[in-house]
């Protein structure tokens, strides 16, 4: 479990990449912006979706229902749960809430055959927003991301620019990309490069 | 490239998957009581049909679950996918 005394000293993969992220931002009707949302709390949760005790205990801990439909997200306040597999979810919370989330889940799930692991240090989150966000992402990803196929509240684990990430489309229309820390700088630079063409259009 | 329908995630590119070989190969219940010939049969010998084949796949870049698929080894046509534990489907004509 994370040691709260260390929260102030941790680093995020893109914390020294601000200048490039700002420089790469594109304004206007075809605009697109990339930023990092660092240090979101992330908990891997595994259990039997058909077990009412498991579902009930998670509801008691989080205050909302786990999403049971494949590739969907349930959100309540600043906590969300992403479906990653038929018995696996990623619980995401505000920075520094991983210890609290772990304690709550371990508390209500005590004695059950489940898995609760703090994976906060595993990934960082990139956010791609703006009218051209989908267009940029489509260059990195083979999934059908058009609105008729990929709706707000959906998520997917998939290949992104030759790395693996979790995609989430928020209600605001912004895309979140959960990526391994060690691949974050690579993926950010890949996306910034993919964003460049929209800047050329904007300048014409 | 194949478009493979994961039983949980739906259609995804073949590059998201790993191939797991022939499905329904049962591990001997008591390896210590299994003779060398029978063990080698279990370990190494696989069907190699020209036609329909029940095989295992893993959705490695997605939900990371194993499942079974009936695929034609010549045409790559996919007849069905099914979850582990589901009954073996009949092979198409
Ligand atoms: Zn899958």
Q: Which domain holds residue A178?
A: 14-38+122-203
Domain boundary among A101, A120, A139: A120
Same domain, A28 and A126: yes
List the shell of residues around ion ligand 1, using CB closer than 5 Å: B 6, 8-9, 59, 62-63
Residue A8 — pLDDT band, cuts 50, 70, 90? confident
Residue A3 covered by a domain: no
Residues of B in contact with A178 (CB under 8 A): none
What domains appear along chain B, each with residue ranges and CATH number? 3-23+42-82 (3.30.2270.10)
Number of domains in chain A: 2
- Per-residue pLDDT reduced to its tens digit, A10-65: 899 999 999 999 999 999 999 999 999 999 999 999 999 999 999 999 999 999 99
> Does A130 share its domain with A193?
yes
The answer as to whether A102 is a domain residue is: yes
Q: What is the CATH number of the domain that holds A66?
A: 3.30.70.1520
Q: Are residues A132 and A191 in the same domain?
A: yes
ipTM of the complex: 0.87
Distance CA A143, CA A140 (A): 9
Q: What is the pLDDT of residues A72-96, one digit of tens each?
A: 999 999 999 999 999 999 999 999 9
Domain boundary among A120, A146, A167: A120
Are A163 and A97 found together in one domain? no
CA of B8 to the centre of ligand 1 (A): 5
- Considering the domain architecture, whether residues A143 and A181 belong to the same structural domain is answered as yes
The token duo for A178 is 């959960």
pTM over 0.80: yes
Please give the residue of chain B at the shortest CA–CA distance from A86: B8
A6: in domain: no
In the numeric block, which tokens belong to residue A83? 């479906």
A145 and A189 fall within a common domain: yes
**DSSP of A11-61, one letter per residue?**
--TTTT-HHHHHHH-B-STT-BEEEEETT-EEEEEE--TT-HHHHHHHHHH
């Amino acid at each position: 479990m994370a040691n709260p005394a260390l929260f102030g000293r941790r680093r995020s993969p893109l914390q020294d990449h601000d200048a490039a992220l700002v420089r790469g931002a594109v304004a206007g009707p075809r605009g697109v912006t990339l930023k990092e949302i660092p240090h979101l709390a992330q908990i891997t949760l595994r259990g039997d979706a058909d077990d009412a005790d498991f579902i009930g205990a998670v509801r008691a801990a989080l205050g909302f229902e786990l999403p049971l439909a494949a590739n969907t997200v349930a959100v309540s306040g600043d906590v969300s749960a992403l479906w990653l597999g038929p018995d696996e979810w990623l619980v995401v919370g505000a920075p520094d809430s991983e210890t609290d989330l772990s304690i709550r889940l371990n508390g209500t799930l005590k004695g059950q055959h489940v898995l609760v692991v703090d994976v906060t240090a595993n990934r960082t989150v990139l956010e791609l927003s703006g009218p051209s966000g989908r267009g940029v992402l489509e260059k990195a990803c083979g999934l059908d991301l058009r609105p008729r196929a990929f709706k707000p509240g959906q998520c997917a684990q998939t290949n992104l620019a030759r790395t693996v990430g979790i995609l989430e489309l928020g209600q605001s229309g912004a895309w979140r990309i959960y990526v391994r820390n060690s691949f974050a700088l690579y993926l950010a630079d890949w996306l910034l490069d993919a964003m460049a063409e929209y800047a050329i259009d904007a300048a014409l | 490239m194949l478009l493979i329908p994961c039983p949980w995630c739906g259609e995804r590119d073949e590059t998201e998957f790993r191939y797991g070989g022939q499905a329904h190969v049962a591990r001997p219940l008591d390896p210590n009581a299994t003779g060398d010939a029978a063990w080698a049969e279990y370990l190494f010998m696989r069907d190699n049909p020209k036609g329909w084949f029940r095989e295992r796949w893993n959705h490695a870049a997605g939900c990371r679950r194993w499942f079974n698929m009936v695929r034609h080894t010549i045409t790559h046509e996919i007849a069905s996918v099914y979850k582990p534990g589901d009954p073996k489907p009949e092979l198409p004509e």
